[in-house]
């Protein structure tokens, strides 16, 4: 919208910063100065009034929470108002407390499983490679702990890696939970990485050989609800029957959790 100045209007030198029809310019120059004040007030941005304090977002949150006094009966209103304020704060900051998805990214930190038929991933700074040589009867195997938000529901697992050559018989990534006081495990999500991973790269504009593979659980199985009181959560990656020329590496894991 054009910006107008009262002085130029009264001096018959109307100069809008935008574009206005000639009839509009001619007509407005004939208006009474008092009416011009009204028009400018309607089309100009409001200016803050000196001495008037505009409440901030924090002020709004604080004023919405009742202040308890000795002898007051603490009703549900106290709890609910505090809850509403926390949810509003989370929404303002982009958090998931308001009901959104939480996406967690992990750099590979593969630890040996200790199995007699296993060889370990070669850990680098922020990623992990397959060993230079892998005997034909061995599996490249490793695991790492992951921390997930208590009470959320695990929905999706993604692995990002790189492969420009070579192949394998089986390449799988598993997320499972393990009882804190036992060794029993329960699988949550499993990814089978295809032998053609990385050709073409995924996403298409990524470095050659990059692959991104995901698996999603849309059911409401109770095992998907994160219980950090009784369980710990583990990622395990196994590479079986890898060819000698394969240059496969692990770059990142991502776990997405929804409100339960």
Segment 74-111, tens digit of pLDDT: 777 767 777 766 766 655 544 444 468 999 999 999 99
Average pLDDT over residues 120-138: 94
Q: Provide the strand spans (E) within the chain.
A: 102-106, 118-119, 122-123, 128-129, 139-146, 152-162, 170-179, 185-192, 210-216, 231-240, 249-259
Quick check: is 188 in a domain?
yes
Structural domain includes residue 211: yes
The answer as to whether 89 is a domain residue is no
Structural domain range at position 223: 102-259
Q: Nearest to residue 29, comparing CAs of 48, 16, 19?
A: 16
Structure confidence at residue 69 (pLDDT): 76
Predicted pLDDT at 54: 55
pLDDT for 221 equals: 95
Contacts of 72 (CB under 8 A, 6+ apart): none
Is pLDDT above 80 for 227?
yes
How far is it between the farthest Cα atoms of the chain?
96
Examine the domain organization and report whether 119 and 243 are in the same domain. yes
State whether 33 and 146 are in the same domain: no
Cβ 174 vs Cβ 197: under 8 Å: no
Question: Whole-number mean pLDDT of the chain?
Answer: 81
Residue 80 included in any domain:
no
- 96 in any annotated domain: no
Residue 75 is assigned to a structural domain of this protein? no
- What mean pLDDT do residues 201-214 have? 96
Residue 67 in domain: no
């Amino acid at each position: 919208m054009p910006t107008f100045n009262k002085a130029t209007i009264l001096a018959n030198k109307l100069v809008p910063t935008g574009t206005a029809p000639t009839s509009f310019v001619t007509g407005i120059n004939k208006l009474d100065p008092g009416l011009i004040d009204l028009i400018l007030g309607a089309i100009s941005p409001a200016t803050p009034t000196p001495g008037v304090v505009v409440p901030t977002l924090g002020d709004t949150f604080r004023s919405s929470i009742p202040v308890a006094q000795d002898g007051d009966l603490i009703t549900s209103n106290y709890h609910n108002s505090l809850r509403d304020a926390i949810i509003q704060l989370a929404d303002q900051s982009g958090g998931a407390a308001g009901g959104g998805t939480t996406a967690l990214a992990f750099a590979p930190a593969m630890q040996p499983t200790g199995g007699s038929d296993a060889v370990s991933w070669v850990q680098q700074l922020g990623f992990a490679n397959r060993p230079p040589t892998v005997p034909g009867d061995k599996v490249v195997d490793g695991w790492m702990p992951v921390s997930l938000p208590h009470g959320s529901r695990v929905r999706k697992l993604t692995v990002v890696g790189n492969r420009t050559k070579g192949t394998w018989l089986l390449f799988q990534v598993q997320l499972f939970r393990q009882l804190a006081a036992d060794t029993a495990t329960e699988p949550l999500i499993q990814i089978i990485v295809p032998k053609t991973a990385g050709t073409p790269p995924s996403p298409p504009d990524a470095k050659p050989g990059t692959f991104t593979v995901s698996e999603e659980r849309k059911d409401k199985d109770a095992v998907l609800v994160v219980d950090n009181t009784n369980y710990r959560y583990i990622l395990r990656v196994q590479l079986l029957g890898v060819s000698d020329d394969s240059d496969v590496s692990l770059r990142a894991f991502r776990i997405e959790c929804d409100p339960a």
